Structure 1
Amino acid sequence: MISVNDEAAALVIHHAVQPSAQILYEMWLKDIAMEAQRFSGHMGVNIIRPHSPSSRYTIVLRFDSNKNLKSWLESETRKRFIEEVRPALVDEEEIGVQTGLEYWFTPPAVKQIHARPSKQFLITLSAIFPLTVILPWLLKPVFTLIPLLGHPIVNNFVLAVIIVYLMVYVIMPRYTRLVATWLFE
């Protein structure tokens, strides 16, 4: 089984689905995603559907700790769902655990391709720069009101925490999907 520690992590699952079973698989995906939400530490699921001619789905489940991820992975609920979908799959599922931003720059594909560093730079800059302009402006009243937050090191740390959180959990998952065609060409 997969070795996990106590850091936040994403469970990345690849399924190659038989073309004749795609509608059933989509219904199954909806059911298992709803069930996973009931597990402790679940932080969301992203489903990346296949691009022609592939039949390969990528499912990313985020958990607040590897302990909670392992709990879902080894649960009887998940095992039951996997047994149910097994006939619809071309072969066994591929499972991996990843952390940080590296997943968002590695697209799901049979042949692993990566975004060019210059494109990663542009995407990241275009997401971070507006945050570095808007967040200090929005938080200035709070920094003024609370003297400790007015200290440059403290308010820069607070801004960095907010920006990194927004990038990892809110912006990059959606943004990379939005620009995926350009990013991975």
Structure 2
Amino acid sequence: MSAETIDLNSVVTLVVHHKVRREALPSYEVWLRRTVAAARRQPGHLGVNVIRPGGEGAMFTTVVRFARAGQLQAWIDSDERAALIQEVSPLLEEGDHPLIHNDAEFWFTPAHGNVRQPPKWKQAVLTYLVICPLTMVIPRLWAPAFERYPVLGGVVPSNLLITLCIVVPVVFLIMPWVTRRCAGWLRAD
């Protein structure tokens, strides 16, 4: 599915937390590779990010994005996923914990329940620091096209193009990466 056909208002995210038994980590990694490959074959699949545990933890967080809620639901309800979950269950300490999000709130969702969500002001600062530079750079990059093709330079077309060029990389690339890199600061008191 190309970026031009994605309705950003319909994108949904499945966040799955798995606390893996220490002795089962190698088996879980093999299972995870097969599961990610299976998810990628699903209609409407937009991407998968796996956040592996750091330090002493064994909590894996998998973020799977789909273009539409119905496509995500089809994957969740599929026999293939049910078989994969049944297969992995003995490797887990606390079972399968899928959460569905239909907006950007997953950026700041804690990896496991005993960690509180970062303060709103930190979420706002981080989001501002990501979006602000893009709002200064992206319009300048489009300026030559707007001059050459005045129809694109109109208020509505130019804003649609600029917003698309900011929102798509922020949602799919930049914010997931930035929140992982800033996790310590986000959690600090």
**Both proteins in one fold, TM over 0.5:** yes
* Partner Cα distance (1:150, 1:129) in 2: 21
* Partner Cα distance (1:95, 1:165) in 2: 24
Question: Which AA in structure 1 matches 2:96?
Answer: E
Whether contact under 8 Å (1:10, 1:62) holds in the other structure is yes
* Partner Cα distance (1:51, 1:113) in 2: 18
* Partner Cα distance (1:80, 1:97) in 2: 20
Whether contact under 8 Å (2:17, 2:112) holds in the other structure is no
* Partner Cα distance (1:171, 1:115) in 2: 18
Q: Is 1:90 aligned with 2:93?
A: yes
Output aligned runs, 1:44-83, within 5 Å.
44-83=47-86
1:25-66 Cα deviation digits (max 9, x unpaired): 112111110111111111111112234544322211110111
Return closer, same or farther for 1:91/1:107 CA change in 2, 3 Å cut-off.
closer
What is the aligned partner in structure 2 of residue 18 from structure 1?
21
* Partner Cα distance (1:43, 1:160) in 2: 19
Moved over 6 A (4+): none
TM-score (norm 1): 0.89
Give the aligned CA root-mean-square deviation in angstroms.
1.8
* Partner Cα distance (1:112, 1:46) in 2: 20
Secondary structure, in 3 states, of the residue corresponding to 1:149?
Answer: coil
Aligned pairs, number: 180
Query: How far is the alpha carbon of 1:21 from its aligned partner?
Result: 0.5
Output aligned runs, 1:113-128, within 5 Å.
113-128=116-131
Q: Identify the range of structure 1 (39-48 vs 118-127) with the bigger mean alpha-carbon deviation.
A: 118-127
Q: Is 1:41 aligned with 2:37?
A: no
Secondary structure, in 3 states, of the residue corresponding to 1:147?
Answer: coil
Query: Which consecutive unaligned segments of at least 5 residues does structure 2 have?
Result: 1-8
What is the aligned partner in structure 1 of residue 159 from structure 2?
156
Query: How far is the alpha carbon of 1:161 from its aligned partner?
Result: 2.6
Secondary structure, in 3 states, of the residue corresponding to 2:64?
Answer: strand
* Partner Cα distance (2:132, 2:164) in 1: 15
Secondary structure, in 3 states, of the residue corresponding to 2:152?
Answer: helix
What is the aligned partner in structure 2 of residue 144 from structure 1?
147
Query: How far is the alpha carbon of 1:158 from its aligned partner?
Result: 2.4
Q: Identify the range of structure 1 (17-26 vs 155-164) with the bigger mean alpha-carbon deviation.
A: 155-164
Question: Which AA in structure 1 matches 2:22?
Answer: P
What percent of counterpart residues are identical?
36
* Partner Cα distance (2:95, 2:153) in 1: 55
Q: Is 1:178 aligned with 2:181?
A: yes
* Partner Cα distance (1:180, 1:77) in 2: 33
TM-score (norm 2): 0.87
Secondary structure, in 3 states, of the residue corresponding to 2:103?
Answer: coil
1:166 to 159, 165, 169: 169
* Partner Cα distance (2:14, 2:100) in 1: 5
1:130-177 Cα deviation digits (max 9, x unpaired): 111111111111111221222234323321232122211221111111
